[in-house]
Amino acid sequence: MNYFSSDFKLGILGGGQLGKMMLYVTRKFDITTKVIDSSADAPSRIACDEFVQGDILDYDTVLEFGRSVDVLTFEIENVNVDALEKLEDEGKKVFPSSKTLRTIQNKATQKLFYLDQNIPTAPFSRFAYTSEIKTVLENDALKFPFVWKSARFGYDGQGVKVVRKVQDLENLPNVECIAEELIPFKNELSVIVSRNVSGEIKTYPTVEMEFHPEANQVEYVLCPARLPKHITDKAESVALQVSKAFQHVGLLAVEMFLTEEDEILVNEVAPRPHNSGHQSIEGNFTCQFEQHIRAILDLPLGNTESKVASVMVNLVGAENHTGDVVYKNIEQIMAMDGVTPHIYGKKQTRPFRKMGHVTIVDKDINKARAVAQSVKESIKVISK
């Protein structure tokens, strides 16, 4: 099929920053795009050929949208998977598939899938409601501390809480959830695996992630990870095992823990471009967003190697600031060597909202990390 400068139309469910960065690529290749998002001010609106405002959790809305495009993909997991399944039954190409998404959408189902596939993961218990956990604790069938995770609709630090005492459960929503053993780990790692329709597979280099202790959001992503090769090889091997189990098409970001004993445990996955791959825009020969487009259109996959060491810093809304956004000291960071800011186009900031990211590149990963620290300390995402 001729995708370039033609009548072909790619549909994207979700119009956030991931969609916007995918659209950098479709603009480069002159691939026609249609995007749907519930917000009239979605970041993707300015970059797509056609924009529809609509609810991507609504069955009929997704069905109608999917029928109007040639290939359908998504930039967020919270979409109506029943509609995707129906579209596939009608012969529509949906990548990643509804089957992949249905397993991943629910964290409890995702964890059970790992057990079935002999994929290493932290021990866990599944609950229909959070309130059931107290009963189990009273019977000594569960030990503190553990990690409470909402089975559905968790993201960016939402729907996850470390529980160290009974009182920590009090303000949590009474929903389907899992209680996962709190693993003492040395590092959090991520490997992005790309797989096209024909089955060609490539992995990106292992990255290490540093998290904000309060917001439970990634603060820094470092590529390549500052770890011995036998560890990164093991991480990439586990990521390939996960990819093979899902048989996904597109990108699969596999987040993992490196334990004190140097074991790799899978935390969770995302079937789309991911925060742990943003530095690939400046740092790798083929960025994750281009790779996703190549994979779902069954084009040859690009070279995933790093051109240069890179560190990504998330730009999130400062605490105590809500309203029209201002990027304080952005000129100051742009004066630093190897620094590139990406602004997502969200007009309103609020505490810890992802508003952009900054990539820092250098031949030396440790120098890049030091500059990243300066960037983090300099730029502030505040309100007017």
pLDDT in tens, 296-354: 999 999 999 999 999 999 999 999 999 999 999 999 999 999 999 999 999 999 999 99
Residue-level pLDDT at 199: 97
Class of domain 123-181: alpha beta
The pLDDT value recorded for residue 216 is 67
What average pLDDT score do residues 222-248 get? Answer: 97
What tokens appear for 129 in the block? 């409601």
CA distance 305 to 320: 40
| Exposure b/e, 105-122, CB count within 10 A at least 16 = b | bbbbebbbbbeeeebebb
Give me the pLDDT at residue 154, please: 72
| Sign of the dihedral through C-alpha 265, 268, 270, 276 | negative
Q: Would the annotation count 227 as a binding residue?
A: no
Q: How confident is the model at residue 69 (pLDDT cuts 50, 70, 90)?
A: very high
Q: Is 180 annotated as a binding residue?
A: yes
Pick the CATH number of 9-94 from 3.40.50.20, 3.40.630.30, 3.40.250.10, 3.10.450.50: 3.40.50.20
Task: Look at the domain 185-383 and name its fold.
Answer: D-amino Acid Aminotransferase; Chain A, domain 1 (3.30.470)
Q: How much of the chain, in percent, has pLDDT values that exceed 90?
A: 92
**Region(s) of the chain under CATH 3.30.1490.20:** 123-181
**Strand order, beta sheet including 380-383:** 348-349, 323-328, 380-383
Grade residue 103 by pLDDT with cuts at 50, 70 and 90: very high
Give the pTM. 0.95
181 is in an annotated binding site: yes
- Residue holding tokens 């890049």? 368
How many angstroms separate the CA atoms of 254 and 268, rounded? 6
- Which percentage of the chain shows pLDDT scores above 70? 98
Least-confidence region, from 132-141, 167-176, 211-220, 264-273: 211-220
Tell me: is residue 268 an annotated ligand-binding position: yes
pLDDT score for 262: 96
Q: Coil, strand or helix: which one is 369?
A: helix
* 263 CB burial (10 A radius; 0-12, 13-18, 19+): middle
- Taking 3-state DSSP, the helix, strand and coil percentages for the chain, each rounded to the nearest 5, stand at 30, 30, 40
Asked if residue 23 belongs to a known ligand binding site, the reply is: no
Distance CA 194, CA 288 (A): 8
149 appears as a binding residue in the annotation: yes
Outline which parts of the chain fall under CATH 3.40.50.20: 9-94
Is 165 marked as a binding-site residue?
Answer: no
pLDDT of res. 215 = 65
Average pLDDT over the chain, rounded to an integer: 95
pLDDT of residue 217: 74
All CATH 3.30.470.20 domain ranges in the chain, comma separated: 185-383
pLDDT at 107 (0 to 100) = 95
In whole angstroms, what is the distance from residue 250 CA to residue 96 CA?
6
